[in-house]
């Protein structure tokens, strides 16, 4: 028996947008933004801190705390002009190019939606998920 978890199937952004535009608050929204985070081969330390140890990422062990994600979504809805949020997170052993997360956020004006997306994705990444890079040299 194979104990490896099957990869989750990513959502259809077209379907998400149809749902969002059918939402009761859609008339208040003037913009939607989508974030699609994927596994990259460049290590986080190299991209964020300029530390190049010569390694490449060949995969990522990814997990998340659903209750914390829901709390961050609630916090984001308190921001000015944010009316719609949908989040999908993958889990398990991911490979380079695999989807890590999708986030759709809708609101009234561009500055509010950009701020909301930045806040939401930043909090998810810093407070809700565990990412362990699997490296090769």
Q: Is residue 55 part of a domain?
A: yes
Q: Is residue 10 part of a domain?
A: no
Q: Is residue 34 part of a domain?
A: yes
Cα maximum dimension of the chain: 52
Across the beta sheet with 99-107, what order do the strands follow? Answer: 31-38, 99-107, 82-89
For residue range 37-74, what is the model confidence (pLDDT) as tens digits? 999 998 887 878 888 888 899 999 999 999 999 999 99
Q: Is residue 84 part of a domain?
A: yes
Q: Is residue 91 part of a domain?
A: yes
Q: Is residue 105 part of a domain?
A: yes
Phi, psi angle pair for 115, to nearest 5°: -60, -45
Mean pLDDT of 73-90: 98
Q: Is residue 23 part of a domain?
A: no
H or E segment and range at residue 126: none
**CATH number of the CATH domain containing 102:** 3.90.1170.40
For residue range 105-126, what is the model confidence (pLDDT) as tens digits? 999 999 999 999 999 999 999 9
Phi, psi angle pair for 48, to nearest 5°: -90, -30
Domain count, the chain: 1
- Nearest Cα to 7, choosing from 63, 82, 91? 91
Total length of the chain: 137
Residue 27 DSSP one-character state: G
User: In a 10 Å sphere around its CB, with 0-12 CB exposed, 13-18 middle and 19+ buried, how is residue 94 labelled?
Assistant: buried
Q: Is residue 83 part of a domain?
A: yes
* CA dihedral over 116, 88, 106, 34, signed as positive or negative: positive
- Nearest Cα to 65, choosing from 135, 131, 111? 131
Confidence of residue 2 (pLDDT cuts 50, 70, 90): very low
CA atoms of 19 and 84, how far apart (whole Å)? 10
- Determine the structural domain holding residue 49 and report its residue range: 30-136
């Amino acid at each position: 028996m194979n104990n490896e978890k099957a990869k989750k199937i990513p959502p259809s952004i077209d379907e998400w947008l149809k749902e969002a535009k059918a939402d009761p608050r859609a008339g208040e929204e003037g913009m939607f933004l989508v974030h699609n985070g994927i596994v990259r081969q460049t290590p986080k330390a190299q991209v964020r801190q300029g530390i190049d140890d010569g390694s490449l990422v060949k995969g990522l062990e990814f997990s998340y705390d659903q209750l914390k994600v829901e709390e961050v979504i609630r916090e984001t809805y308190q921001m000015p002009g944010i009316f719609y949020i949908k989040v999908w997170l993958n889990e398990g052993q991911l490979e380079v190019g695999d989807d890590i997360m999708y986030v759709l956020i809708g609101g009234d004006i561009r500055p509010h939606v950009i701020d909301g997306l930045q806040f939401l994705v930043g909090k998810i990444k810093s407070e809700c998920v565990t990412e362990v890079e699997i490296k090769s040299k």
